[in-house]
Structure 1
Amino acid sequence: MAVSKEEELYRPLKAFYEQLGYQVRSEVLHCDLVAVHPESGHTVIVEMKKTFNLALLLQGVERLRLDYDVVLAVERNRKKSGAHNQRFGDLTELCRLLGIGLATVTFYKTKAPVIDMLCEPGDPPVRGIRRRKQQNLLREFNERSGDYNVGGSTGRKLVTAYREKSLRCAYVIHKLGTAAPRQVAAITKNPRSGLLLQNNYYGWFERVERGIYKLRPEGEAALIEYKEVMQEWITSCEL
């Protein structure tokens, strides 16, 4: 059940904080909802939107200048239509990084709305750096011989470390006519060349007999297409 106006989120959120013992007021100095606990004086500012967007996030950052405890509240559509409804885990982590809380309101036809606090204001991030992916990133960076791509481009073949290794294998077989994996590995100094030839990801290689490979026309064309990528390596190649 999708709401038509963001103001429909107010009453469920007000009831939620009142049940926790807060006094609630709306539109206080342009804040959608302000909840103050009468005993402790603890204050929570809530900003609401139908969906999570940049405007809501910036609004939350601005409210941090008024109080440390800021919560962003959006509808959670059970139909899960729309990109943001599929990424509440990422949105929650983003709010954690900023020290902002995130709540969702789910509406039903036959029962009261349900509030889910995905994170409280001040909750620390939970994901941290993924060391294995970090290592993969650095390995890919270091194994590339240069910068042959254009950042932000789409629909273009990327020159990856794997493609460079494949091109080097292709060049060796091109020069020798046919070659065994051990020959290719020795010249390219890549001990995994045999596996690369066997997998034949780009379709450049053809096994003519056991342990012997030749270069297909697609491989010959690739050497021409990526000759600038190969130029520096070819000059240092011991072949």
Structure 2
Amino acid sequence: MAVAREEELYHPIKKYYEQLGYTVKSEVLHCDLVAIHPEQADTVIVEMKKTFNLALLLQGVERLRINNHVVLAVERNRKKSGAHNQRFGDLTELCRMLGLGFMTVTFYKTKPPVIELLCQAGDPPQRGVRRKKQSQLLTEFRERSGDYNVGGSTGRKLVTAYREKALRCAYVLHNYGPLAPREVAAITGYSRSGETMRNNYYGWFDRIGRGKYSLRPDGAAALAQYGDVIADWTASLSSAP
């Protein structure tokens, strides 16, 4: 059940904090909700929006300048499965990284709203550095011979390190005819040439007979499409001492 206005979130959140012993008031110095616990001397500021957006995030960061316990609150709309604001795991981690709390309110037709506090203000991030991904990033960067892509582009095939090596295998087969993997590896300097041709990820290679590979028309077309990559590679070979 989707709400029509963000103020519909106010009363469920107010009730939530009152049940925890807080005194709650709205629109205090432009803060949507302020809750103060008389015994614990704890103050909470809550900023609300129908969906998670940049305005809400910036509002939360601004509120951290006047109070260290700030919670962002949005509706959890179960029907918007494809919407970006439903990536609650990622949004929770973002709030953790910024020192913000994050809660959702789910509305139902026949039962009271349900509030879920996904993280408290000040909770540390849970996702550490992904060492394997970090290693893959550095390896991919090192093994690319140049910069053949355009950052931010979509709908075009990327020139990865793997594609570069497959192109080198295709180039050798195109110029020397059918060869054994060890022969391709010797010319390209790529020790895993046999594995690349055998897996045939791009559909460029044909295994003809035992231990011999030839180039398919799709492979020849790829050489024309990525001619700049091959030109740079062959130029580097000719300039090598």
TM-score category, normalised to shorter length: over 0.9
SS at match of 1:95: helix
User: Is 1:25 aligned to residue 18 of structure 2?
Assistant: no
* Shift of residue 41, structure 1, vs aligned partner: 1.9
SS at match of 1:45: strand
SS at match of 2:91: helix
Q: Residue type matched to 1:212 in 2?
A: K
TM-score by length of structure 2 reads 0.94
Write the mapping of 1:18-167 to structure 2, written as runs, cut at 5 A. Answer: 18-167=18-167
Q: Is the 8 A contact 1:51 1:84 kept in 2?
A: no
In 2, Cα distance between equivalents of 1:163 and 1:82: 32
Runs of 4+ in structure 1 off by over 6 angstroms are none
Per the alignment, do residues 152 and 236 of structure 1 end up closer, same or farther by CA in structure 2, a change over 3 Å counting? closer
- 1:180 aligns with 180
- 2:215 aligns with 215
* Shift of residue 85, structure 1, vs aligned partner: 4.4
Q: Is the 8 A contact 2:203 2:218 kept in 1?
A: yes
Aligned residues: 238
In 2, Cα distance between equivalents of 1:85 and 1:122: 22
List runs of 5+ in structure 1 lacking aligned partners. Answer: none
TM-score by length of structure 1 reads 0.95
* Shift of residue 225, structure 1, vs aligned partner: 2.2
Q: Is the 8 A contact 2:181 2:212 kept in 1?
A: yes
Q: Is the 8 A contact 2:172 2:184 kept in 1?
A: yes
SS at match of 2:115: strand
Q: Is the 8 A contact 2:76 2:86 kept in 1?
A: no
Q: Residue type matched to 1:193 in 2?
A: S
* Shift of residue 182, structure 1, vs aligned partner: 1.1
In 1, Cα distance between equivalents of 2:177 and 2:18: 80
Write the mapping of 1:228-239 to structure 2, written as runs, cut at 5 A. Answer: 228-237=228-237
* Shift of residue 219, structure 1, vs aligned partner: 1.6
* Shift of residue 78, structure 1, vs aligned partner: 2.2
* Shift of residue 101, structure 1, vs aligned partner: 0.2
In 2, Cα distance between equivalents of 1:82 and 1:43: 35
* Shift of residue 237, structure 1, vs aligned partner: 4.0
In 2, Cα distance between equivalents of 1:81 and 1:198: 40
Q: Residue type matched to 2:166 in 1?
A: S
Q: Is the 8 A contact 2:26 2:33 kept in 1?
A: yes
Q: Is the 8 A contact 2:105 2:114 kept in 1?
A: yes
- 2:202 aligns with 202
* Shift of residue 37, structure 1, vs aligned partner: 0.9
Q: Residue type matched to 1:205 in 2?
A: F
* Shift of residue 227, structure 1, vs aligned partner: 2.0
In 2, Cα distance between equivalents of 1:21 and 1:79: 33
* Shift of residue 236, structure 1, vs aligned partner: 4.4
List runs of 5+ in structure 2 lacking aligned partners. Answer: none
Q: Residue type matched to 2:205 in 1?
A: F
Q: Is the 8 A contact 1:77 1:85 kept in 2?
A: no
Q: How big is each residue's C-alpha offset from its partner over 1:17-51, in whole Å with a ceiling of 9 and x where there is no partner?
A: 11111110000000000001112321000000111
